[in-house]
Amino acid sequence: MSPYAWTWVAVAAAAALAFLTKYAGHVVPEAWLENPRVHRVAGFVTVGLLAALFATQALASGSTIVVDARVAAVAVAAVLLWRRAPFIVVVIAAAAVAAGLRLLGWG
């Protein structure tokens, strides 16, 4: 087979495995859910993943850690969250701060 065809095989395999993984989570026995440990793990995983996604989205650039306009933007976002601003205001403000700083040539 051509490399192009092999890439299609890989895409199809990745798609099938991605769906099966997602589907499995929705069909595990209900009994698993009555275990408080499963509930606790699920809650902590949510916090852990959000924190990791936030940290890498704010500071990672490829495989390096950089401090750029994103840091100022999320600092503004944190202040707005602390002041109980609406979610959409927080997100738009962060984009505006980062875009503005980059327009000025920083980060």
Least distance (Å) from other proteins to the CB of residue 97? 7
Tokens 């408080």 correspond to 36
- Count the residues of the shown chain that bind other proteins, applying the rule CB under 8 A: 76
Ramachandran region, residue 105 (left: φ > 0; alpha: ψ -120 to 50; beta: rest): left
What's the rounded Cα separation, in Å, for the pair 70 and 35? 40
Least distance (Å) from other proteins to the CB of residue 75? 10
Most distant pair of Cα atoms in the chain: their distance: 59
DSSP letter at 28 equals: S
Least distance (Å) from other proteins to the CB of residue 99? 4
Q: Which of residues 12-51 bind other proteins (CB under 8 A)?
A: 12-15, 17-19, 21-28, 30, 32-33, 36-51
Q: Which of residues 46-85 bind other proteins (CB under 8 A)?
A: 46-60, 62-65, 69-70, 73-74, 77-78, 81
Question: Considering the rule CB under 8 A, would residue 106 count as an interface residue with other proteins?
Answer: no
| CB of 93 closer than 8 Å to CB of 104 | no
| Strand-pair partners of 60 | 65
Least distance (Å) from other proteins to the CB of residue 3? 9
